[in-house]
Amino acid sequence: MSFKRTPLVPPAVAFAAGIAGASLCGPTLPWVAWGAALVSGAALAVLGRTLGAAAALLIGVAALGVLRGAQTPLAPDHVRRLSLPTIARIEGRLAAEPRYWAPDRVRLWLDALRADEAPASGRIQVTAYGVPPALTVGQRIVAPLRLHPATGFRNPGTFDYGEYLAREGIRVVATVRAESITPLDDPAPPWPARVKREALAAIERALPPASAALLGGLLLGERTGLPPDIDGAFRRAGVYHVLAVSGFNVALLAAAVWALCSLARVGRRLAAIIAIVVVIGFALVVGPQPSVLRAAVMAVLVLGAVLLERDPSVTNSLALAALAILAVRPGDLFDPGFQLSFAATLGIVMAPLPRGVVLGALGASAAAQLAVLPITLAHFNQLSTVGLVANLGVVPLAGAATVMGLVAVTLSLVSEAVAAVAFDAVWPVLLALRGIVALAAAVPGAVVHLPAPGPLAVAAYVGGLALLVARKRLAAAILLAVAVGAATWPLVRPADPRLRLTVLDVGQGDAIVAEMPDGRAILVDAGSGGPRRLDAGERVVAPFLWNRGFLSLAGAVVTHDDSDHAGGMPAVRRLLRIDERWTGLDPPAAPRWFGGVLVTSLPRLATGGRRNDGGLVLRVEVGLVSFLLASDIEAARERELVATGRPVAATVLKVAHHGSRSSTTAEFVRAVRPTVAVISVGARNTYGHPDPGVLARLADAGAQIYRTDRDGAVILETDGHMLSVTRWASRRVDRICLDPEAIC
């Protein structure tokens, strides 16, 4: 790559590096670095030291990236400064169009103006339940909101929704009944919102629901109505990118406009101006998604070069697009859409593609797939084995459906009857697209789930690809081998001789992973799941296991059938191989040994009673350390366990029923005598868990209390003599020595 032709590439890389490292720098260092770079750069430029001046310039740009990426302090009247959780009457203005997940569930982004009649600021994500009044972006509303801090599930190696919201400037989330929302004005929707609404409405009127949702995704990136089976098929086939509006869509649109202008014998400059206007309008309608912004900026730059009769540099345009987006929205650097869009485009631009339509398409698909591989593994733990071939059929059909869909939507603004003919023509294309995707997704092993690569693996992989492009094949092979070795290390590394038990943060539910000294793992419950629920099995448990190097489980335990324990298990069964399955109705017949760790099921002797009391209770022992996993049992079952005389004393108690007042009785706590108590509980639960009486009884017994709502995942590691407890949210580690004769 010649930097004379692409002078914006080094500043773009430096600016992005500054944003990435912003969290590692204090408030003073970037200002000092920026000032020093400015002075030294100017001095070196005067002395004719061009290379030194350029290096100083890049340091200054990186310092600006640090400053741009640093978190800004909250305003004094920011809603996050309220005493949360609380209920407050919030007046604000909608910052985006309402996003409907179902007819009776809508998500709003609200910029606060007043809170309980006092001035307020800050963006709030509001989930409204029920059928709301007609709402639009820019509208002022008022509603009594139940406010909470914006937090996600905090676990090693899993997606943190709270961090995503923070990048979007959202520190507070809220819920409300939709009928409580009162509009304070009735502005006309801005034209981009009106165009998008009309386009989606025309599509929904003309096509069956599944095909309408698919076309809405192809044209406008609107995927909320896509049936789960179709959505999953596109993911498994490795072609989900066609549903994310990106350069593919923008290029088709610009090419179509250019072709129409050519047919109308419009001059090149005027055609470029018309195409620029259409592309910008399209980006405004679709919305500020990173892939859309990148494609729109690049298209405008390329068309601008035509307007100025200059030879455009795609790589330089890509760098300028990155600088423009990150200068306005630095948090996009960590967004998977931003990373995938830029990596795929850079891969296609840099790769030496073969000639010919088929070979060229195959080469472009391979280049894009190779470029985004570490990103898809890092964010989604997915390696597509069929995407390269599937794209050969999917991309042309998606392109045809996109062009025909744009024509049909445009015609719908003129005549419904004429548009109906165009929609009828696009429908078979959509069916063919769904058919090819379904076939590709049905291939055994279409998607392989692997651990997310670490920094060494990513750096070696990127360096290997760069050397491969530069035709340094031996060096490339060495680096790629290092990348493969580093990426697969979690799968082949020797087993840890300690027992590692992780109580995952899955909100109001239970999910516990026990990693045994012999390298096997068992899962006890898998959090919530089911219709219209976040599936903790798919979103939290499976990624955690993959990133720990587990593609299979020695055992999966469902303590009882409540959805907050069993709901996520179907996804786990679908995504990982499981050797044994235990339930409260079918417990293990005898104690089981796992590399020196004894796992015992404590039987239930009585019949009847509450459903929670039928839950499977497990005792895990190694050396001097024991764990009692009490499921959701309540007072009656606790009395039964104590009365049987079976050993219930334990070093660690996984507190029953999320700390409910109906469990963890004083008699049971005296029998268990826990040193550590872990409560798996949701931060925004409506049950009042954990109960203050339960907390008091545990504290009186001398137990150290850990809670997933405050501490995130709680990681307990022991060699049988010493116990360490890690609070993942704060990374704080407590060490407890249990052997009085050992030095811990």
Alpha carbons within 13 angstroms on the beta-carbon side of residue 719 total 11
Contact 712, 506 (CB under 8 A): no
Q: Are residues 204 and 353 located together in one domain of the fold?
A: yes
Share of the chain above pLDDT 70, in %: 98
Element (H, E) at 129: strand 123-129
Q: Is the pLDDT reported for residue 164 higher than 70?
A: yes
Residues 173 and 200 in one domain: no
Q: What is the pLDDT of residues 390-417, one digit of tens each?
A: 988 998 999 899 989 999 999 998 888 8
pLDDT tens, position by position, 194-209: 999 999 999 999 999 9
Query: Residues near 614 by Cβ (< 8 Å), separated by ≥ 6?
Result: 560, 584, 585, 604
Question: ∠235-239-243 over CA atoms, to 5°?
Answer: 85
Q: At which of 139, 154, 189 does a domain end?
A: 189
88-120 exposure pattern, b = at least 16 Cβ within 10 A, e = fewer: bebbbbbbbbbeeeeeebbebbbbbebbeeeeb
In the beta sheet, which residues pair with residue 127? 107, 175
Residue 74 counted as domain residue: no
- Please say whether the dihedral angle defined by the alpha carbons of residues 276, 279, 282 and 286, taken in this order, is positive or negative: negative
Residue 200 pLDDT: 92
Q: Is there a single domain that holds both residue 307 and residue 408?
A: yes
* Residue 334 falls in which region: left (phi positive, over 0), alpha (psi -120 to 50) or beta: alpha
Is 375 inside any structural domain? Answer: yes
Residues 185 and 213 in one domain: no
298, 247 contact by CB (below 8 A): yes
Res 3: pLDDT: 62
Average pLDDT rounded to a whole number, residues 615-628: 95
User: Could you tell me which of 632, 729, 629, 627 has the C-alpha nearest to residue 683?
Assistant: 729
With H, G, I as helix, E, B as strand and everything else as coil, classify residue 551.
coil
The one-letter amino acid code at 182 reads: T
- Where does the pLDDT of residue 383 fall: very low under 50, low under 70, confident under 90, or very high at 90 and above? very high
396/305: higher pLDDT = 396
Does residue 413 sit in the same domain as residue 552?
no
Residues 363 and 459 in one domain: no
Domain boundary among 189, 224, 245: 189
Q: Are residues 479 and 511 in the same domain?
A: no
545-554, pLDDT tens digit by residue? 999 999 999 9
What gap in Å lies between CA 303 and CA 42, rounded to an integer? 35
Residue 515 and residue 472 share a domain: no
In the structure, what pLDDT confidence band is assigned to residue 364 with cuts at 50, 70 and 90?
confident
Whether residue 556 sits in one domain with residue 412: no
478 falls within a domain: yes
pLDDT of 670 higher than 60: yes
Residue 19 CA, distance from chain mean position: 20
* Residue found under tokens 């494609």: 295
- Spatial distance between the Cα atoms of 88 and 86, rounded to a whole number of angstroms: 6
Distance (Å, whole) CA 481 – CA 445: 23
Mean pLDDT of the region 168-175: 94
Edge-to-edge strand ranges of the sheet holding 577-583: 577-583, 552-558, 521-526, 511-515, 499-503, 714-718, 722-727, 732-737
User: Is the model's pLDDT at 608 over the cut of 60?
Assistant: no
| Cβ neighbours of 650 (radius 10 Å) | 23
CATH of the domain at 694: 3.60.15.10
Question: Would the pLDDT of 2 be above 60?
Answer: no
Per-residue confidence at 744, pLDDT binned at 50, 70, 90?
low
Max Cα separation, the chain?
A: 93
pLDDT band for 153, please (50, 70, 90 cuts).
very high
Q: What are phi and psi of 706, to 5 degrees?
A: -120, 140
Structure tokens at 588: 């293990």
What is the mean predicted confidence (pLDDT) over 558-567? 93
Across 124-130, average pLDDT: 95
Residues 473 and 418 in one domain: no
Is residue 3, in this structure, part of any structural domain at all? no
Q: Please give the pLDDT value at position 1.
A: 54
pLDDT of residue 731 exceeding 90, the answer is yes
One DSSP character per residue, 323-388 reads HHHHHH-GGGGG-HHHHHHHHHHHHHHHS-PPSSHHHHHHHHHHHHHHHHHHHHHHHH-EEESSHH
Full residue range of the structural domain in which residue 352 is found: 192-449
Chain segment 323-355, per-residue pLDDT in tens: 999 999 999 999 988 898 889 889 988 888 888
CA distance 100 to 588: 45
In terms of DSSP bridges, do strands 676-679 and 652-654 run parallel, antiparallel, or are they unpaired? parallel
pLDDT at residue number 609:
61
* Residue after which a domain boundary falls, among 189, 214, 240: 189
Evaluate if residue 533 carries a pLDDT over 80. Answer: no
How many C-beta atoms lie closer than 10 Å to residue 14's C-beta? 20
- CA distances to 101, 159, 165, 329 from 335, rounded to whole Å, are 22, 11, 11, 11
* Banded model confidence at residue 296, pLDDT cuts 50, 70, 90: confident
CB contact set of 348 (below 8 Å; sequence gap of 6+):
364, 367, 368, 371
Count the neighbouring beta carbons within 10 Å of the beta carbon of residue 721: 16
Domain harbouring 156, CATH code: 2.40.50.140
CA dist 474 and 657 (Å) reads 58
Grade residue 173 by pLDDT with cuts at 50, 70 and 90: very high
pLDDT in tens, 262-295: 888 888 888 889 989 999 998 899 887 788 888 8
Check if the beta carbon of residue 312 is closer than 8 Å to that of residue 302: yes
- Let me know whether 479 and 529 are in one domain: no
Query: What average pLDDT does the segment 635-642 reach?
Result: 92
Residues 468 and 575 grouped into a single domain: no
- Residue 2 counted as domain residue: no
Whether the per-residue pLDDT at 557 is higher than 70: the answer is yes
Whether the link from the prior residue into 85 is cis, omega within 30° of 0, is yes
Whether residue 378 contacts residue 458, with contact meaning beta carbons closer than 8 Å, is answered with yes
Find where tokens 């929904």 sit.
204
Task: Say what the pLDDT of residue 534 is.
Answer: 86
Residues near 495 by beta carbon (within 8 Å), at least 6 away in sequence: 516, 517, 518, 519, 595
Other Cβ atoms closer than 10 A to 574: 10
CA-based R_g, the chain, Å: 29
Q: Within a domain: residue 114? A: yes
Mean pLDDT, residues 31-46: 89
Count up the domains in the chain and report the number: 5
DSSP reduced 3-state for 97: coil
597, 622 in Cβ contact below 8 A?
A: yes
Structure tokens at 533: 């629920």
